[in-house]
Structure 1
Amino acid sequence: MPDGHPASGGLTPEDAAIETLHIGLHHLCETVELAFLKNVYGGLLLSAGGLLALVLATGFPDFDSSPGLSRLLQGTAFPVGLIVVYFLGAELFTGYPMWLAMTALDRKGFAFEYFRSTLVALAGNVVGAVWWAGIQSYFTETLTEEPWRSRIIEQVDSDITDNKWHVIFLRALGCGFLVTIAMLLGTQNRDGISKALGLHLPFVISTVAKFPHTVEYMYLGTTGMMLGARLTMGQFFWKCMLPIILGNSMGGAFTGAYNYWVFIRRADDKERTNNRNWLSDEAE
């Protein structure tokens, strides 16, 4: 039985997986300067969504007495950055583990190309996120006034400085899984509203649950340090970036591997089903 379309004008899961694989193949061949610029652009756009989320959530009057509501505000606002990134053709590091896991399982490319793609994506996102943290968040004094300053410091120290390494890693694993699910839904749906909802909803879950996103914490970590958080530069790399990058990578790679094996490799299973003589089986 053929797979039905999940929505009018949408791709089947198989077609979405194939298109995602092709995106990964494109990234293996993409020039360094183009990939870098796309990821700088992505870092800027996602950080803009992060700024919106911080202004809404940490400026909420009942911040301490209604933690769930402030999380919901942050979770609803932050994915706006991801939607804009996707619609404008920018890039984020968190998509690369999914794309490159699929190309690796398809035995495409060389080890150097995988290393180059990953490094360029991270470098571009760092430049974009740090630029937005310094120029658009700190020097504009958008977040330096109370209650935003003290609450952002509290959030950074609670999420990173005072948290355990393995907890940050496990949370990042969940984010890597959910954000790549969001990207798959964005690929699968064709009209703008469906794409926006598909990108938004899984990322809402991730943000509300405080699952850290690599580029989000490039922005939030540097903003927190500028505002006076206890997070040191060494802790930023060891306790913030390292576990989040590893967790996001493993979560995204799982999504890519699952979709490759289930929706691309399963063509053989469909062929066996279609070629089987069911009438003769019943007669026996």
Structure 2
Amino acid sequence: MSYVLPSDFVTKMIDAGEAKVFMSTRDTLIRSFMAGAILALSAAFAVTVTVQTGQPLVGALLFPVGFCLLYLLGFDLLTGVFTLVPLALIDKRPGVTVRSMLRNWGLIFAGNFAGAFTVAVMMAVIFTYGFSVPPNEVGQQIGVIGEGRTLGYSEFGAAGMLTLFLRAVLCNWMVSTGVVAAMMSTSVSGKVIAMWMPILLFFYMGFEHSVVNMYLFPSGLLLGADFSVMDYLVWNEIPTVLGNIVGGVTFVGLTLYATHARTGAARNRPVPRAVAREAGVPAE
């Protein structure tokens, strides 16, 4: 599978974070637009499969196709840069600052949202024959998802917000693991297999992904779901973005960086008794 050792792919993670900071505005927006659009199509595909088969696991098994494609094509998701770019800052790469990191995040957020929203409009037209009829079964299900993941959380107040936040943390723990997994192999098959596993897990578990939600919730609003733009922002997108940052940086970026890029000093090995007797030193 052309496996790359952790010490090597962590260096690639830092290099990738640095490269994204200095990428031109044009390229950043194009790559993030396409990433948001492809992931939105994949989400629409997964919901369609789930509705038609009645089996959520089938939809989850197939959803990673979009994630794998967009990373093989070199496009950028917000959740991925939440993990990679801070490593370049922590590693003190020249020219990488908090300001340049936030600029990169802002551009990718805008590009991802534009791509996802474009697909949301296209699919809403398809689901309603140009808004001339009520949404079909798939469109109705997207509306149900939007209501459940906004009003469903707000119903529980602070406990609902905590649940939402933790689902977002767990989501980017898995999604960023998928981003890193693409660097674990030099073969296409190895990259796809490694990426597929954590993405399947996050989608089936119903964790909160900020870019997937950029499709699901605007799509639900376009299709007449019973929640507002403010519900979407306060009770989903903003807490999800914050949770995605925490999950990606804490459980993926920092842990890999701390143990593979800044490895702690090795402990002294105990002297075997036979060697100690010959050397005349006490054995441990």
TM-score for both structures, normalised by structure 1: 0.87
CA distance in 2, matches of 1:106, 1:119: 21
Which residue, out of 153, 159, 172, partners 2:149? 159
- Cα offset for 1:224? 0.9
Structure 2 counterparts to residues 14-29 of structure 1, below 5 A: 14-29=7-22
In structure 1, the partner of 2:157 is: none
SS in 2 for 1:210: coil
Q: Does 1:123 align with 2:104?
A: no
1:79 equivalenced with 2:69 (yes/no): no
Percent sequence identity over aligned pairs: 21
Q: Please list the CA deviations of residues 10-29 of structure 1 after superposition, one character each: whole Å capped at 9, or x if unmatched.
A: 10011111101100010121
1:59 Cα deviation after fit: 2.6
Residue pair 1:166, 1:243 contacting (<8 A) in 2 also: no
Contact 2:181 2:191 in 1 (8 A): yes
Per-residue Cα deviation, 1:48-83 (whole angstroms, up to 9, x for no partner)? 1111111111233xx4xxxxx32x122112211110
* AA at the equivalent of 2:206: K
Name the residue aligned to 1:94.
Answer: 79
Match of 2:33 in 1: 40
Mapped to 2, the partners of 1:177 and 1:277 lie a distance apart of 37
CA contact (8 A) 1:93 1:118 kept: yes
- Superposition RMSD on alpha carbons, in Å? 2.0
Q: Is 1:240 aligned to residue 240 of structure 2?
A: no
CA contact (8 A) 1:75 1:204 kept: yes
Unaligned regions of 5+ residues in structure 1, if any? 1-7, 64-68
- Unaligned stretches of 5+ in structure 2? 154-159
Deviates more, 1:190-199 or 1:82-91: 190-199
Structure showing greater Rg? 2
**Cα offset, 1:197, TM superposition:** 1.2
Taking a change above 3 Å as real, the CA distance of residues 160 and 79 of structure 1, as seen in their structure-2 partners, is farther
In structure 1, distance between residues paired with 2:46 and 2:237: 20
TM-aligned CA deviation for residue 111 of structure 1:
1.9
Paired amino acid for 2:74: G
The alignment of Structure 1 onto Structure 2 pairs a total of residues equal to 264
Residues 242-261 of structure 1 deviation map (CA, whole Å, 9 limit, x = unaligned)? 01101111100011011111
Contact 1:93-1:215 at 8 Å conserved across structures: yes
Distance 2:19 2:99 in 1: 15
Residue identity opposite 2:12 in structure 1: E
Q: Runs in 1 of length 4+ with deviation above 6 angstroms?
A: none
2:127 to 126, 136, 141: 141
